[in-house]
Amino acid sequence: MNTKKNTKDIISQVPSPWSHLSGFVKNRPKTAFIIKFVIFSILFFILWTQIGRYYTLVISHVSHLLLKGMGYDVALHHNGEIYFMYRGGLINLENTELINFNLASFLALILATPLIRKQRILKSLAWGLPILFVFHVINLVAHFPYYDGHSWARAIVSFSGITNMALPFILWIALTHDFVLEAFIPEERAYQCPLCGETKIGILEHLETVHQNMNQKEKQKVKIFLDNHPQLKRKKHT
């Protein structure tokens, strides 16, 4: 009986792989971000090569409706290949899913963001994905007046070409700027509070405000915490 209990105690004290991974993300957010971003990018690229065509098809149908509403006599065909017929010419959308891959890049950036919460992931995706979708539709629609020589359409197509790869990063920073700053500014790195367990970017201010009335046991925990993080001691006295 005692042997079983001792075995359980030993097993419970062995750190799980998840605890190691969680600690790695918190202590080395930059490295963790790079590793996660590379992994997610590879996975989403593989997935995008399989489903990207269907996304292009959705964009094509929405663009087709808009073009009809704008008075353009265009026909959309998707028998094996996706292409438009306009003024007797063929506008082929082959490999367009590779151009729209920035959507997958945005997903990889959001999911790789260190310390980000699930609610924030969902909120960021709820804003970012529709923006990228609208961007892709506008880019496709603008090509038709561009072929007709309209200067405003030429400006949109040129702008789209420049911002196509940058847009996921712009949206990522705009939607998760607090987590990005927390992870990538060394002097303001996040620490786990030794008292309540929350991860805070301003740990000293957190201890002084939230836990200002500490008992002797809590003060001892804070002392051990500061001993383990001497850089915080230096910051406290600056």
Domain around 231: 190-236
Q: Which residues contact 131 (CB under 8 A, 6 or more apart)?
A: 171
* 155 and 207 assigned to the same domain: no
Rounded distance between C-alpha atoms, residue 195 and residue 237, angstroms: 22
| DSSP states of 130-196 | HHHHHHHHHHHHHHHHHHTT-HHHHHHHHHHHHHTTTHHHHHHHHHHHHHHHHHH-GGG--EE-TTT
Indicate the pTM of the whole model: 0.66
Residue 159 counted as domain residue:
yes
For 99-132, letters b (16+ CB in 10 Å) and e give bbbbbbbbbbbbbbbbbbeeebbeebeeebeeeb
Residue 182 lies in a domain: yes
Task: Report if residue 6 sits inside a domain.
Answer: no
Identify whether residues 128 and 197 lie together within a single domain: no
- Provide the residue-wise pLDDT of the chain in tens; the chain has 238 residues: 455 545 444 444 444 443 444 444 556 778 888 899 999 999 999 998 888 888 888 998 999 999 999 888 888 888 778 888 887 777 777 767 667 888 999 999 999 998 788 899 999 999 999 999 999 999 889 888 888 888 888 898 888 878 888 999 999 999 998 788 767 765 556 788 888 988 877 788 888 888 888 888 888 988 888 877 766 654 554 4
Phi-psi region of 70 (alpha: psi -120 to 50; beta: other; left: phi over 0): alpha
181 located within any domain = yes
Distance, in Å, from the CA atom of 103 to the CA atom of 107, rounded to the nearest integer, reads 6
98 inside domain = yes
Q: How far apart are the first and last CA of the chain?
A: 56
| 180 and 215 part of one domain | no
111 lies in the same domain as 125: yes
